[in-house]
Structure 1
Amino acid sequence: MIVILRRKVVGDESVVIKTIKLKFGKAPNLPSAEILTTPVTVFVGPNNSGKSKILSEIHYRCTSGQLNSMDVILTEIEFDSFTLDIAQEKISKITLKPDYNEALMPDNIIVGKGGNRQQVNENQLLSALQDTNSQINLFCRWYLAFNTLILDGRNRINLVNQQSAGDLQQPPHTSFQVLFRDDDKRKKVRRIIYDAFGLHLVVDPTNLGQLRLRLSSRPPATDIEERGIHEDALKFHSDAILVEQASDGVKAFTGIVTEIIAGDPAVLLIDEPEAFLHPSLAFNLGKEIALTSSGTEKRIFVSTHSPNFVMGCIQSGAPVNIVRLTYRNGTPTARILSNQDILRLMRNPLLRSTGVLSGLFYEFVIVTESDADRAFYQEINERLLRYKPELGIINCLFINAQNKQTVKTIIKPLRELGIPAVGLVDIDILKDGGQVWTGFLESSFIPALEHQSLATLRSHIEQKLKESGKNMKRNGGVEILSHSDQEAANNLFDKLAEYGLFVVRKGELESWLPNLGATGHGPTWLIDIFEKMGEDPESSSYLKPSSGDVWSFLGEIKKWFDNPTRKGIPL
């Protein structure tokens, strides 16, 4: 299947990357999806879903002009072509002066950037820029390779190491050289760094022939104080901190921002930009990356595990694509997430407070009614994963709503993003008819034609439970019904389970593991049950999974998660 990324032309310029085609779509056997590209495309998803791999495949294509036979995600990149005037302008930006005694073939020029240089035929390069897709090898090797940068955990820290000052009589070819000469870009980077750390970024030329970045407690009084080599400049820079001696977080943040603004790559690929950063800095970095690239022809592709970074990108207001990749049981998927859907997750106070955006980075999500429910089921799952993995759910996020009515508020937007999210509620969900019950069904995408019949069945079962004179939650759940009525209730719950809605048929949370004799309700019961379950796995009193009870209940949830044709996820 294919995912295509496309963006609009900015001003009179064309973009470099027009579309990216993947080998799969949002589900097997579905038509290929097409996505309008934006200045920033963020790849999210669980571990081992291909987020880093797609960056390396894009990088190889852009720098070599070839497709790698080992590619498992990328099918093709379609590049935009440029008008004659824009093509000539782009060539002029990467043209270098020949070295002393360097021989040039007729009609050839030297092109390069960042210390890399190559002799090419100017007319052929001009032709390749005007018709990129028929001359991809030349376009990528002679132009795009100099304008593509990939940053990972290994090289982003080194971005702030000192760089050559270069020849002031030639165009700048490193990010520090650009910062040193371009007042606007230097002030832009300085503003971003000050907002992040409360210190002023300055470029230090006092190590003759080299440029260094420093953090000063005050801005330079004049340009010459920063850019000069006289006594006042020496004193100013000696009082400032070398960025390369700062923390990894400061170095990573400063290096990425500097490279985006001053290095000015046409294609920038960043793997886990949040590494070394506090969550608030990850948010700021996401916001600044999106804002800086907005309105430009720059293409930034990011792989991240950070909901804070994603929030920063989205809340910047700049156009951003979020692509969720998954890979399970040999089946890859790629789903393009709506910015509006993600904004809704962040703007809703309930959703924001539960950390629901973290669901983007897990394979599965279970939403419970309360925090006590969440803690208990999560502990049960951890013991299953350790001692009975065939029933345990790997890579699953457990979050809690405020009550059963708000479970639906959380699972619906998650499912709209393609995330398998289970709603887990007590049996008294049967008490809620009307719009509450309908909303419960809608949140799990049960077909509307079935709502009326399910509502009627719910009403009849609730009436039978009332007629029993017993408390449905605390006196046995469906077991207080007659055999035939139990069958009807279980049929209803089986139907809900097909769509990822699981009801505690025994009644409520506190009905699990009755042999342990835990007492109380809610948090009180949770403390007691955890004490009785034991803490030390080496202790004979430590409770390990067995058959039946809550262990099998989670096993049924696992079956729904593992089913590639599960119901309840909109396509």
Structure 2
Amino acid sequence: MQQKAPAARGRNKASPSGVTTPSLPERPHARLKEIQFSDGTIMGLTPGEIIVFVGPNNAGKSAALKEIYGRLAHGQNFPTRVTTRVEFESSETGQEVEEWLARTARRDHLGNYIVSMVGTIHRGIVAINWDHRNLNGIQSLANTMILHLGTEARLSAVNPVDLVNLVTEVITHPLHRLYDDDELEERLDRIFFRAFRQNLIVNRGAGRQVMLHSGKRPKLPKGKDRQSNDFRTAVNQLPAVNDQGDGIRAFVGILASVLAADRDIILIDEPEAFLHPPQATTLGRVLAEETPTDRQLLVATHSTDFLRGMLDHSSPRVRVVRIQRAGDVNYIRELSPTTVRNVWADPLLRYSKVLDGLFHDAVLVCEGDADCRFYGAMLDAISANNSGPDIALVYGAGKSRIATIVQALKAIGVPVRVVVDFDILADEAGLRNLVESLGVNGPKSKRIGIQLGLQLSNEGLESLRQKLAMKSWEFLIKLKPLHSLKET
């Protein structure tokens, strides 16, 4: 798969918007280099890329993220089914890693290392594990370089945590970082306000705990600072984020974890979970904008809204990869940047349901919304007593745009079929364009038009209409029970 030029690498973690993350001590780095999937596809990666995995249910998107983390942490013997090989690269030696820990970590009473935002790493095995990392994974060092955010992790990230001594103790939680870094709090507050029209405030007067509140930020009393009793009281009266709905908790948990942690590889499964569509779109856009340019972000999503947010940013960093499973094989197709630009440049396509096709087994393209409802009812009737692939119905707002939709869906490997009105026969050029978009070559597409014209003149309009109606019914019956839709 096509690789992009690697981003510049340095200590200042700058986001595309020009904002830098907290300056942290230098540490060893790990970058994903290649991922091979069960269909044999090898996907190369470079620093700074954002990979968005899309596809129908049970295609292997979430499993791919788990396997990537498992292979990095536990080595090539970690059991997998979606991926067959995961390679990463790093330049440090085991001795250099050990020296980094000795220089930056604190020690417990046994001499083990206590690392900020990670926890305990046992001494004596670090250099050995690192020098055998390609075979056995990086083991306990994984969480110093990889952030894997599942559902529970993002929700619990906003729960109040015990305050630590920022001088003598190790920071262990994203809320500690927010407590200690005013710039990071302001940055997250701006993002939160975009999504929910409320402020996000760190409560620095909650006794032995650090917690977050949402609402209208209290004004500082004249001549007083945020440690004043009046300000602390006003903050405490605001709703606590951990008492809010799962949507707010998940949104804040993801961004606090991503922005506060210094990780080379970030894996997020279903970031849109619990979010309404507008917030899912905002989250996609924010992650594309704010993820530092030397980090790799891999996301598995089921949401067209989240994907729209990612693509709205128009960043060359974003790559869309579709996974579709047939039996025990996971087939991989990458959406080319040219195809994305073509869809995004057409307002009717950009705001239609074309992208929904990425999350279904196949797509049936009709002319209008009423056609979609009619054929959807037919498909429901056919599939009442038997299961089959998940078919999305998409309309093209007329015949002229259907060929463009077909080309966009086929470019990423989405199986697609078309149902158009009878009057397509009156437009020879339009019919040929449509048939060719489905993969039929020029001479053959012309013969199809001639044959239909001869049938019309020989049999009459009503007879041909009845035959085409029967063909449509047979077509839908054949479409629904298919179990392998790898090819278009």
Q: CA, structure 1 residues 258+225, in 2 after alignment: closer, same or farther (shift >3 Å)?
A: farther
Matches within 5 A, 1:85-100: 91=100, 95-99=104-108
> Which residue of structure 2 aligns with residue 17 of structure 1?
31
1:506 aligns with 2:467: yes
Distance 2:447 2:230 in 1: 84
Aligned residue in 1 for 2:356 = 358
Is residue 302 of structure 2 the alignment partner of residue 305 of structure 1? Answer: yes
Does structure 1 residue 410 correspond to structure 2 residue 405? yes
For residues 167-217 of structure 1, what are the alpha-carbon distances to aligned partners after superposition, in whole Å with 9 as ceiling and x for unaligned? 121453321111111222111111111111122212112222211111140
Query: Residue by residue, what CA displacement relative to the aligned partner does 1:235-282 show, whole Å, maximum 9, x if unpaired?
Result: 232232211111111111011111111133333222111111110100
The question of 1:78 aligning with 2:87 is answered: yes
Alignment map for 1:266-305 (pairs within 5 Å): 266-296=264-294, 298-305=295-302
Residue of structure 2 in register with 1:143 after alignment? 141
Partner of 2:217: 218
1:135 CA drift (Å): 3.2
Do the aligned partners of residues 294 and 506 (structure 1) sit closer, same or farther apart at CA in structure 2, a change above 3 Å counting?
farther
Could you say which residue in structure 2 is the equivalent of 1:452?
443
How far 1:17 sits from its partner (Å)?
A: 2.1
Distance 1:341 1:90, change over 3 A: farther
Q: Percent identity?
A: 25
- Taking only aligned residues, the RMSD between alpha carbons, in angstroms, comes to 3.4
Query: How far, CA to CA, are the matches of 2:428 and 2:309 in structure 1?
Result: 39
- CA deviation profile, 1:28-73 (whole Å, cap 9, x unmatched): xx7645455643211111001111111111222233345323x102
Q: CA deviation at 1:565?
A: 7.5
Q: Do residues 401 (structure 1) and 396 (structure 2) align?
A: yes
Cα shift at 1:347? 3.3
Aligned equivalents of 1:94 and 1:362: distance in 2?
51
The letter of the residue matching 1:506 is: K
Residues 33, 148 of structure 1: alpha-carbon distance in 2 compared, 3 angstrom cutoff = closer
Task: After TM superposition, give the deviation of residue 11 of structure 1 in Å.
Answer: 2.7
Look up the match of 2:435: 441
- Aligned 1:91-490 pairs, distance under 5 A: 91=100, 95-99=104-108, 102-104=109-111, 110-114=113-117, 116-121=119-124, 124=127, 128=130, 134-136=132-134, 140-170=138-168, 171-218=170-217, 221=220, 228=227, 230-296=228-294, 298-318=295-315, 319-387=317-385, 389=386, 393-434=388-429, 436-447=430-441, 451-456=442-447, 458-459=449-450, 461-462=452-453, 465-466=456-457, 470=460, 472=461, 475-477=462-464
The equivalent position to 1:44 in structure 2, one of 39, 48, 54, is 54
Which one-letter code corresponds to 1:81 in the other structure?
S
Paired position in structure 2 for 1:499: none
8 Å contact kept, 1:4–1:36: no
Q: Secondary structure at the match of 1:261?
A: helix
Instruction: Show the counterpart of 2:477.
Output: 555
Number of matched pairs? 469
Deviates more, 1:87-96 or 1:332-341: 87-96
Which residue of 1 is the match for residue 17 of structure 2? none
1:427–1:506 Cα contact (<8 Å) kept: no
Structure number, greater radius of gyration: 1
The answer as to whether partners of 1:175 and 1:262 remain within 8 angstroms in 2 is yes
Distance across 2 between alignment mates of 1:52 and 1:549: 39
1:31–1:259 CA distance, 2 compared to 1 (3 A): closer
- CA–CA distance in 1 between the matches of 2:438 and 2:466? 19
- Seen in structure 2, the aligned counterparts of structure 1 residues 260 and 220 have a Cα distance that, compared at 3 Å, is farther
Partner of 2:87: helix, strand, or coil? strand
1:115 to 1:411, Cα distance in 2 relative to 1, 3 A? closer
TM-score, structure 2 normalization:
0.85
1:98 and 1:32 map into 2 onto residues whose CA distance is 42
Question: 58, 64, 77: which is aligned to 1:54?
Answer: 64
Change in Cα spacing, 1:383 to 1:112, as seen in structure 2 (3 Å) is: same
Q: Residues 279, 194 of structure 1: CA spacing in aligned structure 2 closer, same or farther, 3 A cutoff?
A: same
Gaps of 5+ in 2: 12-27
Helix, strand or coil at the partner of 1:207: coil
CA distance in 2, matches of 1:226, 1:5: 51
CA contact (8 A) 1:385 1:394 kept: no
Between the aligned partners of 2:348 and 2:135, the Cα distance in structure 1 is: 51
Distance in 1 of aligned mates of 2:41 and 2:273: 36
1:329-359 deviation line (CA, Å, top 9, x unaligned): 3432111222332343233222234311011
Q: Which moved more, 1:143-152 or 1:365-374?
A: 143-152
Q: In 2, are the aligned partners of 1:62 and 1:145 still within 8 Å (CA)?
A: no
The residue type paired with residue 174 of structure 1 is H
Aligned position for 1:530: none
How far 1:121 sits from its partner (Å)?
A: 4.3
Cα distance in structure 1, aligned partners of 2:334 and 2:186? 36
CA distance in 2, matches of 1:381, 1:464: 28
1:175 is aligned with what amino acid? P
Taking the aligned partners of 1:47 and 1:21, their CA distance within structure 2 comes to: 21
SS where residue 429 of structure 1 aligns?
Answer: helix
Give the conservation status (yes or no) of the 8 Å contact 1:162–1:211: yes
Deviations 1:496-537 (A, max 9, x none): xxxxxxxx7735xxxx5xxxxxxxxxxxxxxxxxxxxxxxxx
- Go from structure 1 to structure 2 and tell me whether the alpha carbon gap of 1:15 and 1:430 turns closer, same or farther (over 3 Å shift): farther
